[in-house]
């Protein structure tokens, strides 16, 4: 292997290895590191490394979906539509994971897996909006028309999701930290020990999501080539 | 591919969350169960890593073959 190609291989490989290293670190330090002693939350505060970070990864993936949608609309390149589609799929996986983690956490701290909280309801609405994105895609057989409609819808979906999970919960009463007048986790985490795990966890989960997406895109491209040759 | 990886991801998520949700402080103090949780998480994460790298290698091979055929 020449020097140039080995550099390209390492560059492509490095971020994937980094995601795994950060996730191993998250799991080790997440369970063994010190956390502030909080009433009600107790040790469940460690779920911050899994629940919130999943959401962060989902937000990055769904933002990528909207960006690829915008780029497709300005260029008409169908490969960008493929990327947008796969970003949305990975984003949904992380979204469902974030929802499940939140429900488990809520069950132990709020007494029920689903309470009437604007953030929870907004999350459910957002996931349904993205489920409709996939239904829309499957309903149109003509590829360029499908790509155009999906791109426009993805921009609308991201804005709506932002409103549902970031804006509305802050304006109304919510059980979530940092929403509805509640203090955020920044106020709790005075010693910053948690930040040393939280930020690497966000990067680790996001890179893992990007890895999933990249593999799926490459598989789809091969499938398309096979279809064209058949 | 997605289904298997998602299954592993959800396994990890479920494990970590249940462990967080239970009072793991007690586990650590009493019978060191938290080490079991961390070990299982490491094993699942390792399986996921091996899986991802296997897909990566196979895809790379197919892509190289396809590029050669084209040229």
Contacts of A47 in chain B (CB under 8 A): 16-17, 20-21
In our burial notation (b when 16+ CB lie closer than 10 A, e otherwise), range A164-196 reads bbeebbbeeebbbbebbeeeebeebbeeeebee
In angstroms, how far is the first alpha carbon of chain A from the final one?
33
Min distance B28 CA to chain A CA atoms (Å)? 9
For chain A, which ranges sit under pLDDT 50?
A: 1-4
Closest CA relative to residue A16, chosen from A201, A212, A221:
A212
Check B24 against A43: CB less than 8 A apart: yes
Nearest to A222 among B23, B56, B62 (CB): B62
- Name the pTM for this structure: 0.84
For chain B, which ranges sit under pLDDT 50?
A: 25, 28-29
Domain of residue B23, residue span: 2-70
Overall number of domains in chain B: 1
Predicted local confidence at residue A182, as pLDDT: 55
CA atoms within 13 A on the CB side of A171: 7
- The span from the CA of A100 to the CA of A65, in Å, is 22
Predicted local confidence at residue A140, as pLDDT: 92
**Residue A208 near residue A57 (C-beta atoms within 8 A):** yes
Predicted local confidence at residue A3, as pLDDT: 47
Check B20 against A24: CB less than 8 A apart: no
CA distances from B50 to A155, B8, B10, B41, B47 (A): 35, 12, 17, 14, 5
Predicted local confidence at residue B54, as pLDDT: 82
Please state the domain extents for chain A: 42-229
CA distances from A121 to A45, A125, A169, A228 (A): 22, 6, 9, 43
Contacts of B14 in chain A (CB under 8 A): 100, 104
Residue A31 burial (CB count, 10 A): 22
């Amino acid at each position: 292997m020449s020097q140039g190609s080995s550099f390209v291989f390492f560059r492509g490989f490095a971020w994937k290895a980094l995601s795994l290293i950060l996730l191993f670190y998250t799991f080790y330090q997440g369970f063994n590191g010190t956390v502030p002693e909080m009433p009600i939350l107790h040790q469940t505060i460690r779920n911050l490394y899994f629940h919130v970070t999943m959401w962060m990864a989902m937000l990055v993936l769904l933002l990528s979906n909207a960006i690829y949608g915008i780029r497709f609309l300005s260029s008409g390149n169908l490969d960008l539509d493929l990327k947008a589609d796969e970003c949305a799929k990975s984003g949904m996986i992380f979204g469902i994971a974030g929802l499940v983690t939140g429900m488990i956490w809520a069950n132990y701290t709020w007494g029920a897996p689903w309470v009437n909280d604007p953030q929870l309801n907004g999350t459910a609405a957002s996931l349904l909006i993205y489920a409709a994105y996939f239904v829309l895609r499957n309903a149109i057989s003509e590829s360029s028309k499908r790509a155009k409609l999906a791109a426009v819808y993805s921009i609308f979906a991201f804005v709506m999701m932002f409103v549902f999970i970031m804006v509305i919960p802050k304006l109304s009463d919510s059980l979530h930290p940092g929403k509805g007048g509640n203090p955020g986790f920044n106020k709790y985490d005075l010693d910053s020990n948690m930040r040393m795990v939280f930020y690497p966890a966000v990067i680790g989960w996001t890179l893992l999501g990007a890895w999933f997406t990249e593999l799926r895109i490459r598989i789809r491209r091969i499938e398309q080539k096979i279809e064209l040759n058949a | 591919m997605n289904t298997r990886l998602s299954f592993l991801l959800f396994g990890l998520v479920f494990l970590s969350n249940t462990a967080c949700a239970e009072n793991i402080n007690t586990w650590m103090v009493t019978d060191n169960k938290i080490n079991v949780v961390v070990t299982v998480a490491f094993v699942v994460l390792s399986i996921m890593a091996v899986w991802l790298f296997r897909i990566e290698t196979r895809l790379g091979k197919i892509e190289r073959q396809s590029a050669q055929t084209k040229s």
